[in-house]
Amino acid sequence: MDVKTLLDKMTVLEKAQLLCGASSFSMREFKELGIPRLNFLDGGTGINFEQLFPDRYQAILDEYRPEEADNVIRYFYEEDKLTDKEKELRGRIADELGKVKGSITAAPGCYPPGIFLGATWNPETVYNTGKALGIEALCYGVGVLLGTPNVNILREPRNGRLFEGYSEDPALAAGLAPEICRGVEESGVASNTKHFVCNNLEKNRVGIEETVSMRALREIYFPGFKACSKVTKTFMSAYPSINGTLSSENKFLLTDVLRDEWGFDGAVVTDWGACTGKTSDAIKAGCDIYMPGPWKWDEVMEALESGALTAEQLDKAVVRVLDLVDKHASLKIPEDLTDETYIAMGDKAAYEAAAEGIVMLINKDKAMPVSQGSKITILGSNKGKIKDFGGGSAQVFTTRTSSLPGTLEDILGSASISYGDMDAFDGGAYALIVETIESREGSDREDLKMTKQTREILNELIARRRNGAVGKIVLVLNVPGPVELGSYKDEIDGLYAVFYPGMKGAEALAEIITGRINPSGALPVTFPERYEDTPAYLCYPDSFKCVYGEGIYVGYRGYQARGIRPLFPFGFGLTYTDFEIEDADCTVNGGKVTVKARVSNTGDMDGKVILQAYSHKVSSGIRRPVMELRAFTKEFIGKGETRDISFGFDVSSLMYFDEDHGKFLLEDGKYEIRIGTSCEDIAKTCVIDIEECSEELKFGPDTSCDEINRAPDVLEALKADVAFRGLSFQPFITCLRYTPQDKVKVHFPECDRFENFMTACAKHRRD
């Protein structure tokens, strides 16, 4: 497609129509111009039939009752659950799907969402998941796969879509999320990074006004998006207004930052219905595609006629969209792809992700893994069923899911597994409870408590044990995010967080429970003792206004700043073996910090260790978190083996965003690099020395009197120069009492000629 020639051929009407969605999940086709239809679809966990079927086959669905259509969507690959009429509908849609999928008849895959991929701490695993998702999209004729990734920070644990995001920490999100983009893009499908930015709650998500400090935006909420902008072909704007401007009309976000600063040259699509203002204002701000369709393209025409939108502004958007269509609208399934290879690739990616991301949180007295010959009683009405996906746009209906009880029976033997028999809880028996909490877009969780049923089961088990039964209690958290455990933490013997683990999660969990896999996941989000301890607790909105009052103190930053110990800290995860960090060293060279650590596996099982490096500024001129994740690596170490591991980060990541200067600044002086296996489990600390600071931070006439007063060497030099010139030092003293942020030159205009003062300023360091 020759985009420039095509642009010259298009009428103003055609250009306007191109930007405006034609259906819920597709753009307009212009056959006479050779512009094909471009299809969108969620998403980040697999193909969503609830979106796909109505968008493509609504005319067929309209011939049947809504209940029949819904059943076919949900049980498309379970024909025994359909009536004869529903089977007829299924057959008609299957024929239509065959025109797109060719010989691929297998059910779609269901893959872990962001929070689970975050728990893997493994970029390669995330990349492989993206590759599988890209092939899925190809098989369904999807050119843009939405939500690959959702990189919004896990700020508020009640968020209904918390499970879609990667982490509460920007460095972990930025280190992992771009890899799913790479995987999807490798297949030829356009990845889609959403929701830019601060889509951190579902309450009043359409229309809510959020007030977020620039420092929090830059340090916490932007880094994951910035990292993805180097890879992804599309961005999605968010629903909220940020600091007074709708995200879809926010020139600062979509043009100044995304395009001009980060160099993103792809297309920006609105979240579905997020453009609630004038389409022309959104186009001018840098938004290109307006969904869902049919969108009112006449609004664009009217803006052109009135002069509210220029032809040049329209053409910029059209060029970006044409480029997207050219690259991603006419993709073909690989010729060598068969049902067998399609299933094998997807199953492998889902299984490896599940095996890497399940987090073991409690293993009291090494109760786990379960040994051969042990008996397990599965309690609860769900009989150990694992929920693979969250609700809303993340849901995937497939028959390729694994079974926890089934896999346990395969490994231990069917005689070892029973259901619902409390009396079996004695001796060496294990009681296994799966706590499943539903979550979806559109609404937030009411609290972080476990369900009443699970609490009742635990209460009964604990009472029985106190009365003589000595079995083990194992709890599985099949949840969207953090939960409160209360006193149960001290009563249970084994605890696993599986979040929503995708179609192979149950299989991987069974193999972890029985010791075939050594767990290696770690929390990408803090689990609080109480919801009231969470940093954003007092900032939850009651209306359409939300102030991010915790600022940069999101997640573990907020707990550490307030001295609150959580239930389980960020980065925490147990294994069946033991790792010892024997030695560590840090060096700075060429703008890079290299961390080296010697780690031994002192246990009796092969395993993977997640090394985490956090920075702590020893002495700072501004308020900073106690520590901040800078780098991580996940490494395999065999039992009895010792390895020297090296990883690192850029010195620039030590910068903070200074709101007064409107830019990132680097402080000089000493930084502790704390190395460990969670933000609370630090094994070794080394110190690096940054010799040069940003020009704006160098001491001199523009330094505040307050900072000078806290630097004895500089203060004494200033006093000496003032006395030498026969001046009064009282203005400085008065300034400290009433206006300590005054610059020194306000009270001593000629201080740039004070020899002692300027010499001391040049030598001063923030150690």
User: What pLDDT score was predicted for residue 470?
Assistant: 79
Phi, psi (degrees; rounded to nearest 5) at 147: 70, 30
What is the pLDDT confidence band of residue 765, given thresholds at 50, 70 and 90?
confident
Distance (Å, rounded) from C-alpha 539 to C-alpha 494?
Answer: 34
Q: Which amino acid is at 267?
A: A
User: What pLDDT score was predicted for residue 468?
Assistant: 80
Q: What is the pLDDT of residues 13-72, one digit of tens each?
A: 999 999 999 999 999 999 999 999 999 999 899 999 999 999 999 999 999 999 999 999
Q: What is the pLDDT of residues 444-501, one digit of tens each?
A: 999 999 999 999 999 999 998 888 877 899 999 999 999 999 999 999 999 999 999 9
DSSP class of 295: P
Contact residues for 378 (Cβ-Cβ < 8 A; gap 6+): 384, 404, 405, 417, 418, 419, 420, 432, 433, 434
Inform me whether the pLDDT recorded for 428 exceeds 80. no
Q: How distant is the alpha carbon of residue 748 from its chain centre? A: 50
CB 713 within 8 A of CB 604: no
Handedness of CA 699, 703, 707, 710 (dihedral sign): positive
Would you call the peptide bond into 369 cis, given omega within 30 degrees of 0 as the criterion?
A: yes
Opening angle at CA 141, ends 137 and 144, nearest 5? 60
Distance (Å, rounded) from C-alpha 126 to C-alpha 117?
Answer: 6
Q: What is the pLDDT of residues 187-240, one digit of tens each?
A: 999 999 999 999 999 999 999 999 999 999 999 999 999 999 999 999 999 999
Beta-sheet strand order (sheet of 40-42):
40-42, 144-146, 190-196, 234-237, 267-269
Inform me whether the pLDDT recorded for 146 exceeds 80. yes
Opening angle at CA 165, ends 159 and 170, nearest 5? 110
User: What pLDDT score was predicted for residue 422?
Assistant: 80
Handedness of CA 361, 362, 366, 371 (dihedral sign): negative
Phi, psi (degrees; rounded to nearest 5) at 722: -65, -45
- Lowest average pLDDT, out of 323-327, 331-335, 501-505, 683-687, goes to 331-335
Distance (Å, rounded) from C-alpha 235 to C-alpha 264?
Answer: 9
User: What pLDDT score was predicted for residue 467?
Assistant: 84
The β-bridge partners of 267 are 234
CB 400 within 8 A of CB 110: yes
The CA dihedral of 55, 58, 64, 69, to the nearest 10 degrees, is: 0
- As a residue count, the chain comes to 767
Average pLDDT over residues 296-316: 95
CB 165 within 8 A of CB 154: yes
- CB burial of 373-403 (b: ≥16 within 10 Å; e: otherwise) equals ebbbbbbbebebbbbbbbbbbbbbbbebbbb
User: What pLDDT score was predicted for residue 424?
Assistant: 73
What is the pLDDT confidence band of residue 7, given thresholds at 50, 70 and 90?
very high
Show the tokens assigned to 264.
Answer: 């993103």
Give the count of beta carbons closer than 10 Å to the beta carbon of residue 543.
9
Inform me whether the pLDDT recorded for 690 exceeds 80. yes
State what percent of residues in the chain have pLDDT above 90. 95
Q: Please tell me if the domain spanning 3-44+109-328 has the same topology as the one spanning 355-561.
A: no
CB 705 within 8 A of CB 742: yes
CB 518 within 8 A of CB 605: yes
Q: How far is CA 751 from CA 697, 704, 714, 744, 755, in A?
A: 17, 13, 12, 8, 8
State what percent of residues in the chain have pLDDT above 70. 100
The β-bridge partners of 586 are 595
Distance (Å, rounded) from C-alpha 77 to C-alpha 110?
Answer: 14
**DSSP code string of 342-373:** HHHHHHHHHHHHHHHH-EEEEEGGG--SPPTT
What's the CATH class of domain 579-694?
Answer: mainly beta
Element (H, E) at 756: helix 755-763
Domain spans in the chain, listed from the N-terminal domain onward: 3-44+109-328, 48-107, 355-561, 579-694, 698-763
**In this structure, which CATH number among 3.40.50.12500, 3.30.2130.10, 3.40.50.1700, 2.60.120.10 belongs to the domain 355-561?**
3.40.50.1700
Distance (Å, rounded) from C-alpha 282 to C-alpha 288?
Answer: 8
CATH of domain 3-44+109-328: 3.20.20.300
Give the count of beta carbons closer than 10 Å to the beta carbon of residue 607.
20
Distance (Å, rounded) from C-alpha 495 to C-alpha 91?
Answer: 44
pTM metric for this prediction: 0.96
Inform me whether the pLDDT recorded for 571 exceeds 90. yes
Name the 3-class secondary structure at 287.
coil
Distance (Å, rounded) from C-alpha 553 to C-alpha 517?
Answer: 36
Q: What is the pLDDT of residues 391-427, one digit of tens each?
A: 998 999 999 999 999 999 999 999 999 998 887 777 7
Handedness of CA 525, 527, 533, 536 (dihedral sign): positive
Token look-up 């930053």 returns 557
Name the 3-class secondary structure at 544.
coil
User: What pLDDT score was predicted for residue 247?
Assistant: 97
106 phi-psi bin (left φ>0, alpha ψ -120 to 50, beta other): beta
Contact residues for 1 (Cβ-Cβ < 8 A; gap 6+): 34, 35, 322, 325, 326
Closest CA to 483 of 534, 521, 531: 531
Give the count of beta carbons closer than 10 Å to the beta carbon of residue 81.
12
Show the tokens assigned to 408.
Answer: 């346990």
Name the 3-class secondary structure at 536.
coil
User: What pLDDT score was predicted for residue 348?
Assistant: 98
Q: What is the pLDDT of residues 250-276, one digit of tens each?
A: 999 999 999 999 999 999 999 999 999
Query: What is the chain's mean pLDDT, rounded?
Result: 96
User: What pLDDT score was predicted for residue 427?
Assistant: 72
Average pLDDT over residues 330-341: 92
What pairing do the DSSP bridges indicate for beta strands 642-650 and 663-665?
unpaired
Opening angle at CA 541, ends 539 and 544, nearest 5? 140
Show the tokens assigned to 209.
Answer: 């006004």
